[in-house]
Structure 1
Amino acid sequence: MRCEARIFRNKKREYLKGKIAVLETNNKEKKIRDLYRSISNFKKGYQPQTNLVKDDNGYFLADSIKIVNRWKNFFSELLNVHETGDIRQIKMHTAELLVPEPSLGEVELAIRKLKSYKSPGIDQIPAELIKASGKGLHMRIHKLIQLIWDK
């Protein structure tokens, strides 16, 4: 009995050393997702998985072949609708029809709300330059937004 206990202890030590080695390599190689996933799995411990599915009568199926057949029948019934009476015509309304195009006042308000002293975007135009521009540029920006809105 003592010999078996020692064998189990040694096996457990080897297992833990292997787990620690995997964690160390993930940490050194900057594989943070794998590192945290391994830690999480180690903390949870062994959790058995059950693959059970209910059949049409409410009984649980455990046999993999019966489970596959159940899923096959389920999707066959779901996707192959032969009766047209079940399908209803539904009118879809999109939000695009309800939202009016932006007005010049809204564009000017958005330009005034631009934050100052921020680094410019891809276009390399600072917000201060757009804010300091006159009504002419605001109208051109508005026309550009209208063109984009229509297309």
Structure 2
Amino acid sequence: SDSEDVSEAWRDLRDVIINAACAVLGRMERIKHKNWFDGECEQVTNKKNQAYKRMQQRNHTRGAVEEYREARRKEKRLHKKKKREYDKQELIEPEHLSSSNKIRAFYQKLNKSRKDFQPRTTLCRDKEGAILSSDEAILARWVQYFEELLNGNASEQAEGITIDQNQGNFEAEERVPTIKVVEQAIKLLKNNKAPGMDLMTAELVKFAGPENAEHLY
């Protein structure tokens, strides 16, 4: 079918571009984010664990218990120190990036620090326009909406989008874009964006050459 031919042609083009990029640019390894728990922290934690085992083996003698408590105090002090230093560095780095005009890196750092927890809220409106927030009310509204669709009363609003069968021109065909439109669309692709499932970034599409636009067309 035509859709299968288009999909196969796209996969072939994608593979050619990605293979060429890997051959010329190479592959970039993921950069592990820094963490405050380093080798020194691991060492002091291991010493505390060893002291705990000795305390168990010696039936909690006074000396063994005191040795374990001291090891645990050292661990807590070091961990607090490392965590404090790490947090301080996390605050200094965005300030440095901002002052050195590395705006993109600054916002990446800022977004990373804000992604720890982001509550997601889902809302919709009832027929009178009142906002519904509870899961039960939202579910009931969608049931009501789809029942009205099935009954032929499709002139409704769902999440702010008006659906009206009487106003739609479903027989109108969209014009096929010209090669100039395709070239302009490629130029307008934004850089520094994460690739999708095909692993194709905007930069790869842009710098694949003029023949790429013809293949996409």
With the shorter chain as reference, the TM-score category is under 0.3
Give the structure-2-normalised TM-score: 0.21
Task: Answer with 1 or 2: which has the greater Rg.
Answer: 1
Higher relative contact order (CA 8 A, sep 6+): 2
Give the structure-1-normalised TM-score: 0.28
